[in-house]
């Protein structure tokens, strides 16, 4: 690829930024739906969670540790979005990391629990479809 004009460069940066924002939003939506599913399962097993304690339980209880790879990926995207430039290699790497996490090559603990949530909760399935669509689009970015 030849040299880009400033206008082309800015347009490319904006498309990458928009792609990263879309991926972040799709990951957050999946995260939210998974957490709601897990909260229901947790409360079924251990009883109701008192108001105001759910965030503490999610961050500290081993029951929710399987979500750590997803949380770290969202943080990586936040860090990339905080930067002034978005390189195509980085954008593709983030899309690949997301795709890998949700594939058979992903973290085994994550894959097992995620598969259960996909089977049990239609909202997780819908969020998954949206996420896969965003990943496919981000992979096509220039």
Q: What is the pLDDT of residues 41-94, one digit of tens each?
A: 999 999 999 878 999 999 999 999 999 999 999 998 998 888 777 666 777 788
Residue located via tokens 């994550």: 110
pLDDT tens readout for residues 93-123: 888 899 899 988 888 999 999 999 999 999 9
3-state secondary structure of 11: helix
Contact 86, 17 (CB under 8 A): yes
- Report yes or no on whether pTM surpasses 0.75: yes
3-state secondary structure of 17: helix
pLDDT tier, 30 (very low <50, low <70, confident <90, very high otherwise): very high
The count of residues in the chain is 142
Q: Which is higher by pLDDT, 71 or 16?
A: 71
């Amino acid at each position: 690829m030849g040299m880009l004009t400033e206008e082309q460069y800015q347009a490319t940066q904006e498309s990458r930024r928009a792609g990263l924002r879309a991926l972040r939003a799709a990951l957050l939506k999946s995260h939210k739906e998974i957490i709601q599913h897990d909260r229901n399962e947790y409360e079924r097993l251990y009883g109701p969670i008192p108001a105001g304690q759910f965030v503490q339980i999610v961050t500290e209880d081993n029951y929710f540790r399987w979500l750590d790879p997803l949380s770290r990926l969202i943080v990586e995207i936040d860090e990339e979005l905080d930067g002034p430039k978005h390189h195509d290699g980085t954008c593709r790497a983030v899309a690949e990391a997301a795709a890998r996490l949700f594939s058979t090559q992903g973290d085994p603990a994550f894959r097992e629990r995620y598969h259960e949530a996909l089977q049990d909760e239609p909202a997780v399935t819908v969020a998954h479809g949206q996420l896969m669509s965003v990943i496919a689009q981000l992979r096509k970015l220039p």
